[in-house]
Each structure stands twice: as structure tokens, then as C-alpha cells.
Structure 1
Amino acid sequence: RTPHTLTEPEAVMAELARVRAEGYAVIDQEVEIGLRSIAVPLVTARRVIVAAVNLGLPVRSEPIEELAARYLPALQTVSSRMQEILR
């Protein structure tokens, strides 16, 4: 845990709702100071989430607001291609 880690139940539930609605998760130094991450689910052909495809990068590399625009399409492509393997 870091000072940025969500710990209040209401905040955690709100973030989970956002992740479900938008289909991806972003964390900003919640696991380690200086680390940001964006992830998408890895879903089987039967629509079961079995893992996540994740990209971690240093905080200083770019603003958090730009992570989804820059990396989400590629992560979704990888996830989609891996879904074909998980039949």
C-alpha cells in the first residue's frame, strides 16, 4: 500500500464500477510510488475473465490522463487476439 492506494470501501466500489463500465483499469502509484499502470481483462470465448493484460510505466513518462488514449487500443488488440487462443 501507498498513500495513493484506495482503501475506503466506497472509493473502491466506485472505481470497480468505473472499470466495469469502461472496460479497463488505471492505477496511479497505488501499488508502488512512481509506477502507473493500465490493464484490460483477458476474457475467454465464454466471456469469463481469467487474467489481465497490463502495462506499467514510470510516473514521469507522461500524464495519467493520456494513458488510455495512448495505450488502450494496443492492449485491447492483444487481449482480443489472446481470446482467440483461449477457446
Structure 2
Amino acid sequence: MRLIHNPTKKSWTFLSAVQQFLFLSINVLLKHFKRRLGRNEGRQNIPIPTNKNIHYGEHFAIVSPITRKHFIDKEKEKKRKETEKMMKLEQQ
């Protein structure tokens, strides 16, 4: 039957449909095989996020992020202070 009617279904789907329509007429089974499948809508669109107004109230703090430059400058300042300290000790 599969070779004669060439249904578009997969083998497993074909066998389960044959079991399901075993006691019904052959025309109902053939109609089931020829029915059009649902149309694929494709990839779902990602919704564009809207800007949210954030209410900064009493319990919020706005903190600026610390950058890499901050840490580099901090290390340079630390070294500079150490060298100044060493210079003062040598002068005394």
C-alpha cells in the first residue's frame, strides 16, 4: 500500500495511521494520507524590547562601573607614593 499510494508521511506515522484506520474504509485512510500539513511559519521573531523607565527612589544608588584604567592608575599611584616615601627616608 505504501508503494502504490506513495504517501508523504514517514514510515512510523504510516504504520500508526494504518492501525488507527484499520476498521474504517480505505477511502478514509487515503484521505488522511493526502491531507495538507500545516504551513510552517518559519523562525519566530524576537520582539523589540521597549525602554523601561527606572524610578530611582530612596533605596537605590547609582554606581558607575570601575574600568581597567582605574586599576592601572591605582597601581601607578601606589608605586609613586612608595618611591616618594623611599626618597624621604633616604634624605633623612
TM range (shorter): under 0.3
Larger Rg: 2
Task: Give the TM-score, by structure 1 length.
Answer: 0.24
Point out which structure has higher relative CO (alpha carbons under 8 A, 6+ apart). Answer: 1
The structure richer in strand per residue is 1
Task: Give the TM-score, by structure 2 length.
Answer: 0.23
The structure richer in helix per residue is 2
